Amino acid sequence: MTATTDTGTGDTASAAPATSQAGGPEAGSLADRAARSAALAVEHLLARQDEAGWWKGDLETNVTMDAEDLLLREFLGVRDETTTREAARFVRSRQRDDGTWATFHGGPGDLSTTIEAYVALRLAGDAPHAPHMERASAWVREQGGVAASRVFTRIWLALFGWWRWSDLPEMPPEMIWFPKWFPLNIYDFGCWARQTIVPLTVVCAKRPVRAAPFSLDELHRDPARPNPPKSMAPAASWEGFFERLDRALHAYRRIGSRSLRRAALRSAARWIIERQENDGCWGGIQPPAVYSLIALRLLGYDLDHPVMRAGLDSLDRYTVRYRSAPGEGGDREAAGGTARMVEACQSPVWDTCLATIALADAGLPSDHPALVKAADWMLGEQVLRSGDWSVRKPQLPPGGWAFEFHNDNYPDADDTAEVVLALRRVRHHDQVRVDTAVRRAVRWSLGMQSRNGAWGAFDADNDSPFPNRLPFCDFGEVIDPPSADVTAHMVEMLCAEGRRDDPRVRRAVSWLLSEQEAGGAWFGRWGVNYVYGTGSVVPALVAAGLPASHPAVRRAVGWLESVQNGDGGWGEDLRSYRPGHEQEWAGRGTSTASQTAWALMALLAAGERESMAVEQGVSWLARTQREDGSWDEPHFTGTGFPWDFSINYHLYRQVFPLTALGRYLHGTGTGTREER
């Protein structure tokens, strides 16, 4: 899906401050101001619904998506001038004054991101002696040069001879045959890592090199010795063990059976092709699509082959075009041209269920045409065939929802829980159809519970300690262990479906209570961070029957009150994920609309409607709302991989504040099926 966004609307660029609501933003009682704010937000959100019934905001990550898209096109020989020019505008717009690129708004420069952005601009024709390029290359050298970058960055450089394949970790394609009980089999990896690693085993086995259009000597501390040798960790340590395992795999490459390697490559190709979605993508996310296309091309698939053609076409659906460059940093290229941003993923199911909940909780009639249309679309998106999750749960019938437009292989627990909660807020004309879909979802959800009583996002019991230790896996989380936020959403949904006393739900509640931090918060795996985790867990515990006076709830309330900003809002910086900085940054950061809403949702569920903290938070939302009913939120409040990969969901700034305002005005939004 290609969207065109005018940066003047505030979806990407800075917007004018909010003020003029009827009677002025501070006129009337707090309830009056909250009601006006909610009404404006409802109007804004309804106007953004697609005719088919779904909502989707832009999903902004960092410029590695744009850089790697250009590198893919260069490798395949399909890069064109228009695409390159538009991508370069966007990449330049995200450069910081010190010459670097960050992985999130306001964050520090990131070495690998800066290297990939720099290479993308070189492809676009930016001269290495241009001031913005010299600032970038000087910073890269100061940080250790290409040798200090992550493995995935060096793989991209190796494709063009800018790095030696022999200096990269090995991941043999033969691992496709490891049985599911064997350590480091592909199903020990999270689904996003699995979909990326399988094609990369093909790429690393083939070790292709396309002629580089220029050199990158300026990105090395010493171009004559770009990768100086390093001492190995002690053999008795895990790091040392896996370093020696990598050496053994390099030796296996030289002496292993060629016929066995060819058979493994064929098996990998079949695995990749079997997981291509009907629209040509892989898992609904961009990185596996990129690496799968390279792998299949290396295995002899022509660009006109239907699999390749569909895959290439799917890449265009990750593109968002802006009619002017945002103009932040870099050489500040004049606005007026088209800037092209590549989304790592698209979130229509997630956005639609959250928008439905927000509108219903804000008081929109449950049979409103927009809600019914959204429910119809969500019902049509239920995944009714088995995917990779069934490797560990072979007897479990399907019934979940995925995150994206097309992703039948990887439904997830989080979307499934929120879709059910959304469907139950709609008075649908075909209640039998809704009930049938919900029964399937509840059965699938309970079947995906992990041994410890909690839920991961995509798989049950995906918690092997080994994948994250591989030298190959030095970027982000590669497993999918249970998390408090996903488990909380599951508990809230199951309680709403009358399962409050189910032993499996009680186990999950016990697990949540055991995961509370000493200060009273919960870690947020898929949202930033302790504010998100706490905003998810407290409503779930209340739905599960814990009274507002329960010690865990009181500790959470106390923690939220302690981290509220002086302006009345809440915010949390991504640095709360960084090892060693958790306590320094937990619950600390610039106030944002989505994080303020998460805190309010927890406080309201805990019975704090009349508290000073809630009044100040609601006042902050009403005061900072734009005239068009939206909120500004340049900060990244979504999480792909804690610290390593951050997300700005552009609809979060709309759906969560509206949910919080609606619950302030009309109630908490929780309750069991019987109570409704």
At 154-167, the pLDDT tens digits run 999 999 999 999 99
- Range in 225-229, 438-442, 483-487, 593-597 with the lowest mean pLDDT: 225-229
Average pLDDT, rounded, for the chain: 92
Angle between helix axes 612-624 and 30-47 (nearest 10 degrees) is 50
Strand, helix or coil for residue 246: helix
- Range in 172-181, 357-366, 472-481, 531-540 with the lowest mean pLDDT: 472-481
Given a cut of 60, whether residue 326 has pLDDT beyond it is no
At 342-381, the pLDDT tens digits run 999 999 999 999 999 999 999 999 999 999 999 999 999 9
Contact 490, 537 (CB under 8 A): no
Neighbours of 492 (CB within 10 A): 25
What confidence tier does 227 reach under pLDDT thresholds 50, 70, 90? confident
Residue matched to tokens 């190959």: 472
Residue 337 has a pLDDT of 83
Helix residue ranges, H only, 285-347: 286-298, 306-316
Residue 108 DSSP one-character state: P
User: What gap in Å lies between CA 310 and CA 287, rounded to an integer?
Assistant: 15
Contact 349, 419 (CB under 8 A): yes
Residue 336 has a pLDDT of 56
Residue matched to tokens 């399962």: 499
Helix residue ranges, H only, 544-581: 551-563
User: Is there a common fold for 3-11+29-59+344-462+476-666 and 62-342?
Assistant: yes
Q: Would strands 339-342 and 638-641 be described as parallel, antiparallel, or unpaired?
A: unpaired
Residue type, 460: A
In 3D space, the residue among 108, 111, 107, 153 whose CA is nearest the CA of residue 136 turns out to be 111
At 460-504, the pLDDT tens digits run 999 999 998 888 888 889 999 999 999 999 999 999 999 999 999
Torsions phi, psi of 412, nearest 5?
A: -135, 155
Provide the CATH topology of domain 62-342: Glycosyltransferase (1.50.10)
- CB within 8 Å of 95: residues ≥ 6 apart: 101, 117, 132, 136, 328, 329, 330
Given a cut of 50, whether residue 4 has pLDDT beyond it is no
* N-term to C-term CA, the chain: 37
Percent of the chain with pLDDT over 90: 84
Give CA separation, 513 vs 390, 537, 550, 600, in Å: 29, 9, 11, 20
Higher pLDDT, 537 or 229: 537
Question: Which class is 3-11+29-59+344-462+476-666 in CATH?
Answer: mainly alpha
Q: Please give the average per-residue pLDDT across 519-538, as a whole number.
A: 98
Catalytic residue numbers?
Answer: 414
User: What gap in Å lies between CA 61 and CA 640, rounded to an integer?
Assistant: 9
Q: Please give the average per-residue pLDDT across 579-583, as a whole number.
A: 87
Given a cut of 60, whether residue 40 has pLDDT beyond it is yes
User: What gap in Å lies between CA 267 and CA 261, rounded to an integer?
Assistant: 10
Residue 337 pairs in a beta bridge with 335
Q: What is the C-alpha R_g of the chain?
A: 25
Helix residue ranges, H only, 143-190: 151-158
Residue 575 has a pLDDT of 95
| Nearest 10 degrees: Cα torsion 647, 648, 653, 655 | -50
Neighbours of 14 (CB within 10 A): 12
Domain boundaries, the chain: 3-11+29-59+344-462+476-666, 62-342
Residue 246 has a pLDDT of 86
Residue 674 has a pLDDT of 38
Angle between helix axes 484-496 and 431-447 (nearest 10 degrees) is 140
- DSSP per-residue letters across 61-77: --THHHHHHHHHHHHHT
Higher pLDDT, 329 or 605: 605
Strand, helix or coil for residue 645: strand
Contact 38, 658 (CB under 8 A): yes
- Range in 285-294, 351-360, 416-425, 556-565 with the lowest mean pLDDT: 285-294
What confidence tier does 324 reach under pLDDT thresholds 50, 70, 90? low
Given a cut of 70, whether residue 18 has pLDDT beyond it is no
At 599-639, the pLDDT tens digits run 999 999 999 999 999 999 999 999 999 999 999 999 999 99
Contact 621, 633 (CB under 8 A): no
Higher pLDDT, 4 or 612: 612
Give CA separation, 169 vs 164, 229, 242, 422, 544, in Å: 11, 14, 10, 45, 47
Buried b or exposed e, range 249-285, using 16+ CB within 10 angstroms: beeebeeeeeeebeebbeebbebbeebbbebbbbbbb
Q: At CA 534, angle to CA 529 and CA 536, rounded to 5?
A: 95
In 3D space, the residue among 130, 133, 136, 123 whose CA is nearest the CA of residue 87 turns out to be 123
Q: Please give the average per-residue pLDDT across 444-471, as a whole number.
A: 96
Q: Please give the average per-residue pLDDT across 545-550, as a whole number.
A: 97
User: What gap in Å lies between CA 346 and CA 158, rounded to an integer?
Assistant: 29
Element spanning 59, H or E:
strand 59-60
Upper half-sphere CA count for residue 571 (Cβ side, 13 Å): 19
What confidence tier does 194 reach under pLDDT thresholds 50, 70, 90? very high
Give CA separation, 534 vs 294, 317, 555, in Å: 41, 34, 10
User: What gap in Å lies between CA 622 and CA 35, rounded to an integer?
Assistant: 9
Given a cut of 60, whether residue 5 has pLDDT beyond it is no
Give CA separation, 189 vs 10, 335, 484, 549, 563, in Å: 38, 43, 20, 40, 35
User: What gap in Å lies between CA 659 and CA 357, rounded to an integer?
Assistant: 7
Give the 3-state DSSP-derived string for 343-388, with helices as H, strands as E and coil as C.
CCECCHHHHHHHHHHHHHHCCCCCCCHHHHHHHHHHHHCCCCCCCH
User: What gap in Å lies between CA 491 and CA 57, rounded to an integer?
Assistant: 27
At 629-659, the pLDDT tens digits run 999 999 999 999 999 999 999 999 999 999 9
User: What gap in Å lies between CA 241 and CA 184, rounded to an integer?
Assistant: 14
Q: Please give the average per-residue pLDDT across 437-456, as a whole number.
A: 98
Residue 581 has a pLDDT of 86
At 399-442, the pLDDT tens digits run 999 999 999 999 999 999 999 999 999 999 999 999 999 999 99
Indicate if the alpha-carbon torsion angle 452, 454, 458, 463 is positive or negative: negative
What confidence tier does 239 reach under pLDDT thresholds 50, 70, 90? confident
Residue 676 has a pLDDT of 34
Contact 203, 269 (CB under 8 A): no
3-state class percentages of the chain: helix first, strand second, coil last, to nearest 5: 50, 5, 45
Give CA separation, 228 vs 151, 171, 207, in Å: 16, 22, 21
Strand, helix or coil for residue 46: helix
At 63-116, the pLDDT tens digits run 999 999 999 999 999 999 999 999 999 999 999 999 999 999 999 999 999 999
Give CA separation, 526 vs 404, 415, 560, 646, in Å: 16, 12, 19, 9
